[in-house]
A and B are shown apart, each in its own frame.
Chain A
Amino acid sequence: NAGVTQTPKFQVLKTGQSMTLQCAQDMNHEYMSWYRQDPGMGLRLIHYSVGAGITDQGEVPNGYNVSRSTTEDFPLRLLSAAPSQTSVYFCASTIGLGTEAFFGQGTRLTVV
Chain B
Amino acid sequence: EDQVTQSPEALRLQEGESSSLNCSYTVSGLRGLFWYRQDPGKGPEFLFTLYSAGEEKEKERLKATLTKKESFLHITAPKPEDSATYLCAVQPGGATNKLIFGTGTLLAVQP
Contact = CB atoms under 8 A, between A and B. Distances in A.
Given A42-B102, A42-B103, A100 B97 contact: no
A42 B6 CA distance: 10
Contact of A98 (B41, B42, B45, B51): B51
B98 A100 contact: no
Given A42-B87, A102-B46, A50 B95 contact: yes
Interface in B19-45: 31-32, 34, 36, 41-45
Contacts, number: 70
A50 B91 contact: no
Contact of A48 (B43, B44, B49, B98): B98
Contacts of A4: 43
A110 interface: no
A43 B87 contact: yes
Sorting the interface of chain A by its residue count into under 10, 10 to 19, 20 to 34 or 35 or more gives: 20 to 34
A71 interface: no
A42 B43 contact: no
A74 interface: no
A97 B99 contact: no
Contacts of B44: 43, 90, 101, 103
A64 B36 CA distance: 26
A53 to B, nearest CB: 16
B101 interface: yes
A33 interface: yes
A56 B98 CA distance: 11
Given A48-B96, A98-B91, A43 B101 contact: yes
B104 A103 contact: no
Contacts of B51: 98
Nearest to B30: A98
Given A103-B43, A106-B42, A98 B49 contact: yes
B31 to A, nearest CB: 5
Contact of B98 (A33, A40, A99, A105): A33
8 contacts: A4-B43, A48-B96, A96-B97, A98-B32, A98-B51, A99-B32, A101-B46, A106-B43
